[in-house]
Amino acid sequence: MAIKDVIQSTVDSNDVVLFMKGTPNFPQCGFSGQVVQILSYLDVPYTPVNCLETDEIRQGIKEFSSWPTIPQLYVKGEFIGGCDIVREMFQSGELASHLAGKGIPVKQPAKA
């Protein structure tokens, strides 16, 4: 199976997928760590994929999304973006509402 097919299958069979460097418990880069913190804060269930495990997946995910950097967040098969986009969406409240709109359970942040 080609790496593109493996990635497509992972994205298709999981509601929320984070392609990251390292693992949620031990992120290998600050950007991956930030996205893990955001998803943890929102209490979103997700499937992590460690892109450092093989060169094939590390290169494959960049080609799959036409996005040059890792981490990459997918929701219901849709590419959301990397760390900067996820962080901006989180800060504006857009990420929580987008996830909720897709039927993903999220902890709603307290209103200030």
Residue numbers belonging to the annotated binding site? 29
Residue 11 in 3-state DSSP? helix
- Which residues are documented as binding site for [2Fe-2S] cluster? 29
Report yes or no: 71 and 32 within 8 Å, Cβ to Cβ.
yes
CB under 8 A, 24+ apart: contacts of 91-98: 95/38, 95/42, 96/42
Give the residue among 101, 88, 56 at the shortest CA–CA distance from 19.
56
